[in-house]
Structure 1
Amino acid sequence: MSSSSIQSWFHKASVAMSAGNYERAVRCAENGIAAEPNNALAYYYLAESLRQLDRERDALPHFCRALELDPCHASSFVGLAYVHLELKSYDQGVEAANSAIELAPTNSGAHAVLAYLLVYALRPREAIEAADAALALNPRNVNALNAKGNALSRLSRNAEAEQCYLQSLAIMPEHVESLTNLGLVQRGSGRRKSAVNTLKTALRVDANYSSARELLLNSSWREAWQYYRSVPEFVFYKVLLQYWLFWVAVITLAFLVIKDSYFR
């Protein structure tokens, strides 16, 4: 295959990623790898597309392969750090994020993912520093704002955390993670009604966002009841329970009738 044809596959993968069509990006990157198996960029495109499809375990070896071929590719280190974040291997993630920052100190995304990792590694003060570094480079980085809010929340600085989430929503009004985090802070400060409304908004944006749904169900018994009534499994067990109660009632009544007749 010619060099121009190979580069065409990589261009198609890049375009597909930019358009959010990650399934197509995966196919294009795989075709590129088949044509040129030692091209680090192809492995990066494949790994990043898989990560965006929530297939972190599949993405992990491809990020590693990209870095074997090009140890100075900062974006691969950033992607690898996000994979470790999702896989909860926080120390490895911190190492990957720091490598990205060393290679590209002005990469706001590298500082932001480091902030996230430090929050989950229970190092909130360091997380705030990393988030501030990201925001100094890009004040509109919603990931950095959320990471900072999470760190502040861990330090019980809920009012400051709420401001971070509100800033994020001013930039991206339908950012479901920001809405969920805001709902969590509102609930923690006793504003349960506001929390329920915020979490409903999050679920209108993304009905499958499990964190928002679980938080909503834990915030309002009424919402929990309405949700579980709509779940097919719940309907099945509800019918089964009614059927069981019916026969318990029949047997109990029969027993009482027989008992009454016997002692008469």
Structure 2
Amino acid sequence: MHIGLGLPIADPPALLDWARRADAGPFSTLGLLDRLVYDNPEPLVALSVLAGATRRISVQTEVLLTPLRDTALLAKQVATLDRMSGGRLVLGLGVGGRADDHRAAGVELRTRGRRMNEQLEHLRSLWSGEPFGPDCGPIGPAPLRPGGPPILIGGFKPAALARIARWGDGFLSAAPVQWSGELFDSVRTSWHEHGRPGEPRIVAQINVALGPQPVVDEARAALAAYYEFTGNAAHMVSGLHTTAADIRAAVRQFADLGADEVMLYCYGTDPGQVDRLADLAG
């Protein structure tokens, strides 16, 4: 079981400290969420900086909202980061559901699923060296791996899960453990129905805050603010894991369901959490 670290968004310059501490510890991956109309760092830019400041740890978007982006430019940005990080980029992708993000990007919310399907097919084609179109050549640089970096697809609905078998390499799940077994089984079944070899990679996510009470309080406030749009932020706050025993138990439960990796997602900004979480992840 691999353990990754989801990074907080409130203090972007501090993420260099987080990344260097994580790179020196037992963590497999650094993850960063994506929003447009929110006070968060742009993930591809931020992860490029963090990849340059680290040596071995993977960097992962959780999840990059694909429909908000121009496909050709996204293909170039991703391939550049993939090459310059030595293949350490993992691309977590999703459609997003916030109307304000789509409004600001100038794209339709109601067609986001169809747009993402088209983008995934086009991205794979571009990363394989195909021309952009009949009157337009290929877009370089080529990624390190033919066909592009590993793609994890997030979501809960059947259409999102079906994308994994068609274009992805695995599933990035933010669902609580009590919902996850059925989701994991659905992803694996679709994978085999599409004739994909092997098994999809399964990455789970849990929200954590480990430290003194101010750290926990800050994380709860950040979670509440981030999920305010849902009208049910209290539910997300109530699911925050705040003790080492609770975090270990959640990781064990996901391991029992066959997850390959669990991302410990931090909303509090204290970098001391990296060291405290390393003690239970090692």
TM-score normalised to the size of structure 2? Answer: 0.27
Please identify which structure carries the higher helix content: 1
TM-score normalised to the size of structure 1? Answer: 0.28
Larger Rg: 1
Q: Which protein has greater RCO, CA pairs closer than 8 Å, 6+ apart?
A: 2
